[in-house]
Amino acid sequence: MQTQLRAPCVSHKTRINGVPCSPKVVPRVARVPSGSAPEAPVASPEPTAAQRNVVAQVAKMIHAQTTTNKKGALVSELPAWQALKEHVNEIEKTHLRDLLHDEARCMSLIKECEGIYGDFTRQRVTQKTLELLFELAEQSNLRGKINAMFNGEHINSTEDRAVLHIATRAHRNQKIFVDGKDVVPDVWEVLDKIKAFSDKVRNGEWLGVTGKPLKNVVAIGIGGSFLGPLFVHTALRTEPVAMRCSRDRSLRFLANVDPIDVARALDGLDPEETLVVVVSKTFTTAETMLNARTVRSWLTSRLGPDSVAKHMVAVSTNLKLVKEFGIDPENAFGFWDWVGGRYSVCSAVGMLPLSLQYGFDLMQEFLAGANNIDEHFKNQPYQDNLPVLMGLTSLWNVSFLGHGAKAILPYCQALSKLAPHIQQVDMESNGKGVDINGVRLPFETGEIDFGEPGTNGQHSFYQLIHQGRVVPCEFIGIVRSQQSVYLKGEVVSNHDELMCNFFAQADALAYGKTPEQLRSDNVPDYLIPHRVFTGNRPSMSIMLPSCTAYTVGQLLAIYEHRIAVQGFIWNINSFDQWGVELGKVLASKVRTVMNSARTRDRKILPQDGFNYSTTRMINKYLEGKTQVLYPEGHDTFPIDMLRGGH
């Protein structure tokens, strides 16, 4: 539903009737459905004519602020935001069916840069929309914020940190400063260490404790210490060069604290041939640490305590805890607090496990691809800047057209883990309720991301996106497949068949099918309502020349930066994640109860500190058939978990 502001709010310097108003004092904004008359804030009396006059003057004054929102005004108070809201009415009168016939418009909305084809013609935008979005970017100081990020300013203000994942893929000769220190030499010190270590493991110089080469790697980590590396690994598994580089090697991930995930990750592995990489920025994440202890026990129960030195290494910013865990700091690969977990795949978080699997040289191409887009993002003007265009058009879809979800639809099985990775990067970054100054926002930020590779998604949720809710889609196609198959006599090759769907879906969403067309197809009247496609459903398409380490790096950086663009404009902190804390704290409270119940010390009872529903549910769980008392003196594993390598 479209929303509009009831009353404009004002910057810190604003005065109403001579009284200075801070944004926290002025009743901010309430949302009403578009078309409804503006009303006074809830619980306030109707504004008087004089008050309305003041509000109108304030609105005029805000319109006069054409520079930045540095003064603390909400983005929704900027003139360009208001202009975009008004512009929605113009766009509502258009249909993509018609917009796509305007060739001049289409030409201006297709961008070919850095070898990537970006098509924005199926977004519900005109040249005017883009100009207004660029104006919003100007008024929001987007360029200044991008520069602040690249300059190592502490833009993650709630954690007082710089945001410099771009430094993790910098060329050796680049200079990137944090607090007056060039961090690129530190980055390359770790990268050199990764190269040396991964080379040694891969060429058999580094052996397991029983003298066998380590050909299997299990990477333990969760969230940002898992999803990015999984995405890249999945993307490269069937790429011909990567396949050659990883012959006879395996890389697995263990993320969930569910023991089923442990069993699956270790199933069939021989501990003598397995190297474990514990990946945790903080080295305190409950799931990762329990999994690390579990796998350590799996190793030492078979190979003895000395095996840890040869079979376990770590990636972390917390080298003290790595040492306390029992991993030699020599076998730890550091990174820095200015790399956010979800932005860490180019640091040792991804580079170590992926270099072990594919070799450092190939993974350097991945870094080069990401670096290429970093430069593009920093230097290109808005109208030729892929992450900026994607961020702005998404913002238009979310904040002005009212579409809160987006589908990420790669027509490439190798990119099947892109959507899960972007879910974290986007939703943990931009799912916020207050702006960077802590002021509650009168609009929603962030998007609900989901996706599956085409064509699988077509046989799953595409019904909804064609005839149900409007969900802006991002189609990602590949020109040259990693794998080529053509069967004699078939109309097209297998990859061409896939891509036929890629091209068709975007137009089906845009054009739809009218009752007239259905009638001329002799569809009976009673079926026409069911078979109408309204069309006018926005999407964008990206085509990459191939799916290689380099282009996967590019794709990653495009998504990372477009998310930053949206956060910069919404003026939120896209780089903290306080929203994940509360659940962790409550889980720890339950853990205490669980231990008390299972060990029968009964010092704490399930009802202590919990509400009726939770107490009852915990009791039900504790009374269930699964109840076991924790054995003393030894670790227990399901027999099957230990069967590998016999």
By annotation, the residues acting in catalysis are 428, 459, 584
User: According to the binding rule CB under 6 A, does residue 512 interact with ligand F6P?
Assistant: no
Instruction: Kindly identify the residues of this chain, within the stretch 325-354, that bind ligand F6P according to CB under 6 A.
Output: 341-342
User: According to the binding rule CB under 6 A, does residue 291 interact with ligand F6P?
Assistant: no
Q: CB of residue 424 vs ligand F6P: minimum separation in angstroms?
A: 7
The residue from 224, 477, 553, 644 that contacts ligand F6P (CB under 6 A) is 224
Whether 279 and 353 have beta carbons less than 8 Å apart is answered as yes
Nearest residue (CB) to ligand F6P, 271 versus 340: 340
User: According to the binding rule CB under 6 A, does residue 554 interact with ligand F6P?
Assistant: no
Nearest residue (CB) to ligand F6P, 291 versus 307: 291
- In terms of Cβ atoms closer than 10 Å to its own Cβ (0-12, 13-18, 19+), residue 86 is exposed
Nearest residue (CB) to ligand F6P, 172 versus 591: 591
Q: Which residues pair with 533 in a beta bridge?
A: 513
Nearest residue (CB) to ligand F6P, 257 versus 523: 257
Q: CB of residue 568 vs ligand F6P: minimum separation in angstroms?
A: 19
Nearest residue (CB) to ligand F6P, 223 versus 420: 223
Q: CB of residue 281 vs ligand F6P: minimum separation in angstroms?
A: 4
Which span sits near ligand F6P by CB under 6 A: 168-176, 276-284, 493-501, 627-635? 276-284
Task: Extract the tokens encoding 399.
Answer: 């904040």
Q: CB of residue 223 vs ligand F6P: minimum separation in angstroms?
A: 3
Strands (E), 346-463: 405-410, 448-450
Q: Render 105-159 in DSSP notation, one character per residue.
A: HHHHTEEEETTEEEE-TTSS--HHHHHHHHHHHHHTTHHHHHHHHHTT---BTTT
Eight-state DSSP code of residue 205:
S
Instruction: Write the secondary structure of 90-108 as one string of H (helix), E (strand) and C (coil).
Output: HHHCCCHHHHCCCHHHHHH
Instruction: Kindly identify the residues of this chain, within the stretch 409-438, that bind ligand F6P according to CB under 6 A.
Output: 428
Whether 393 and 133 have beta carbons less than 8 Å apart is answered as yes
Q: Is 475 helix (H, G, I), strand (E, B) or coil?
A: strand
Which of left, alpha, beta for 347 (phi over 0: left; psi -120 to 50: alpha)?
beta
Q: Render 32-52 in DSSP notation, one character per residue.
A: EETTSPP-PPTTSPPPPHHHH
Q: CB of residue 538 vs ligand F6P: minimum separation in angstroms?
A: 30
**Polymer length of the chain:** 646
Q: CB of residue 221 vs ligand F6P: minimum separation in angstroms?
A: 6
Q: CB of residue 168 vs ligand F6P: minimum separation in angstroms?
A: 14
User: According to the binding rule CB under 6 A, does residue 25 interact with ligand F6P?
Assistant: no
Instruction: Kindly identify the residues of this chain, within the stretch 568-597, that bind ligand F6P according to CB under 6 A.
Output: 577, 580
Nearest residue (CB) to ligand F6P, 554 versus 577: 577
User: According to the binding rule CB under 6 A, does residue 282 interact with ligand F6P?
Assistant: yes
The residue from 79, 118, 213, 223 that contacts ligand F6P (CB under 6 A) is 223
Residue carrying the six token digits 């512009």: 87
Q: CB of residue 164 vs ligand F6P: minimum separation in angstroms?
A: 16
User: According to the binding rule CB under 6 A, does residue 567 interact with ligand F6P?
Assistant: no
Size of the site for ligand F6P (CB under 6 A): 14
C-alpha dist (Å) from residue 383 to 109, 120, 131, 134, 152 = 9, 11, 9, 8, 25
What's the distance, CA 416 to chain centroid? 14
Nearest residue (CB) to ligand F6P, 243 versus 448: 448
Which span sits near ligand F6P by CB under 6 A: 196-204, 217-225, 230-238, 587-595? 217-225
Angle of helix 360-379 relative to helix 142-150, nearest 10 degrees, comes to: 150
Q: Which residues pair with 451 in a beta bridge?
A: none
CA-based max dimension of the chain: 87
Residue carrying the six token digits 């890389």: 251
User: According to the binding rule CB under 6 A, does residue 161 interact with ligand F6P?
Assistant: no
Task: Extract the tokens encoding 292.
Answer: 């690390």
User: According to the binding rule CB under 6 A, does residue 280 interact with ligand F6P?
Assistant: yes
User: According to the binding rule CB under 6 A, does residue 85 interact with ligand F6P?
Assistant: no
* Whole-number Å distance between alpha carbons of 385 and 365: 22
Which span sits near ligand F6P by CB under 6 A: 65-73, 112-120, 216-224, 394-402? 216-224
Q: Are strands 539-546 and 116-119 parallel, antiparallel or unpaired?
A: antiparallel
- In terms of Cβ atoms closer than 10 Å to its own Cβ (0-12, 13-18, 19+), residue 208 is buried
What's the distance, CA 343 to chain centroid? 8
Instruction: Kindly identify the residues of this chain, within the stretch 44-73, that bind ligand F6P according to CB under 6 A.
Output: none
* Whole-number Å distance between alpha carbons of 417 and 447: 18
Which span sits near ligand F6P by CB under 6 A: 99-107, 278-286, 328-336, 519-527? 278-286
Closest-CA residue to 549 (of 171, 278, 169, 176): 169
The residue from 225, 307, 429, 573 that contacts ligand F6P (CB under 6 A) is 225
Nearest residue (CB) to ligand F6P, 345 versus 470: 345
Q: CB of residue 227 vs ligand F6P: minimum separation in angstroms?
A: 8
Q: CB of residue 576 vs ligand F6P: minimum separation in angstroms?
A: 9
Whether 296 and 636 have beta carbons less than 8 Å apart is answered as no
Nearest residue (CB) to ligand F6P, 279 versus 386: 279
Nearest residue (CB) to ligand F6P, 428 versus 447: 428
User: According to the binding rule CB under 6 A, does residue 457 interact with ligand F6P?
Assistant: no
Q: CB of residue 338 vs ligand F6P: minimum separation in angstroms?
A: 14
User: According to the binding rule CB under 6 A, does residue 285 interact with ligand F6P?
Assistant: yes
User: According to the binding rule CB under 6 A, does residue 281 interact with ligand F6P?
Assistant: yes
Q: Is 253 helix (H, G, I), strand (E, B) or coil?
A: strand
Residue carrying the six token digits 């962030």: 446
User: According to the binding rule CB under 6 A, does residue 357 interact with ligand F6P?
Assistant: no
* Whole-number Å distance between alpha carbons of 307 and 298: 11
Nearest residue (CB) to ligand F6P, 289 versus 473: 289
Amino acid in position 212: K
* Whole-number Å distance between alpha carbons of 572 and 212: 51
Residues contributing to the site for ligand F6P (CB under 6 A):
222-225, 280-282, 285, 288, 341-342, 428, 577, 580
